[in-house]
Amino acid sequence: MARWIAGLDGCRGAWAGALMDCDDPERFRCGLFDSVAALLDGPEVPCIAGIDVPIGLPERILGGGRGADRAARARLGPARASVFPMPPRVAVYAPDYETAKALSRAGSEPPFAPSIQGWNIFRYVREVDTLLRDRPDLRERLHEVHPEVAFHALNGLRPLGLPKKGPRRHEGLALRRRLLAEAGLPEVLIAARSPGVPADDHLDALASLVTARDILLSRAQPLPDPPERDAFGLPVVIWAPAPVTGASVALDRPA
């Protein structure tokens, strides 16, 4: 019996998705999905999906972010800036950026406001938060992951040293492809980027897929451990794949 898994990454108002049969990795599908539900309710009905979006929104934030944000930033070290600290739930549902900043400062200690980059992902956060509250049956299938946390683990818990954007993006993307291949993803899947999906979003979806696989196989690591819960019972945890020992592709340059 097939055991489908999936990875999702926000992409231009939609979702870059990758699905794979864990028992037959040559069976896969990549695409651009209008909603998270469209992938979860699709023909494969993945049993585990990793998604690069915060799940679990505390009513008040202490210490500069959710416990999951702080744990992921501590794990990444120099590359920690890729983890946006999430504000309290009320700020995520604010009608505009200025209101979100005010509500975040009022509901956090020490006070902080979300960056404009953080504000731009709140629509994805609201979609997933609403879906999991409306459909509790999906809570065992959909799990928060973070691509850079995943790549860091696949690189032996060392910084990659090459960004996925900017002048050296081609080197950074090549490094990430190599790590995904060494993690066991078929080369044909790594190359199967769908039309309209940028290269970095496709690779991030695949990193989420690798984490979903390790969750299914009970070898993924929770950040923090044990996971926390918000007022609706949603887990506040970022899952990381099992670290790859002996990885030799890390570079010494700062990310």
Domains along the chain with CATH numbers: 4-53+135-221 (3.30.420), 61-133 (no CATH)
pLDDT lower than 70: segments of the chain: 79-81, 246-255
Burial class (CB in 10 A: 0-12, 13-18, 19+), 65: buried
User: What is residue 255's predicted lDDT score, i.e. its pLDDT?
Assistant: 35
User: What is residue 248's predicted lDDT score, i.e. its pLDDT?
Assistant: 43
What is the CA 191 to chain-centroid distance, rounded?
A: 20
pLDDT digits (tens, 9 = 90+) for 46-78: 999 999 999 999 999 999 899 999 999 999 987
Asked if 3 and 216 touch (Cβ cutoff 8 Å), the reply is yes
User: What is residue 55's predicted lDDT score, i.e. its pLDDT?
Assistant: 98
Cα–Cα distance between 190 and 140 in angstroms, integer?
A: 26
User: What is residue 197's predicted lDDT score, i.e. its pLDDT?
Assistant: 96
User: What is residue 246's predicted lDDT score, i.e. its pLDDT?
Assistant: 60
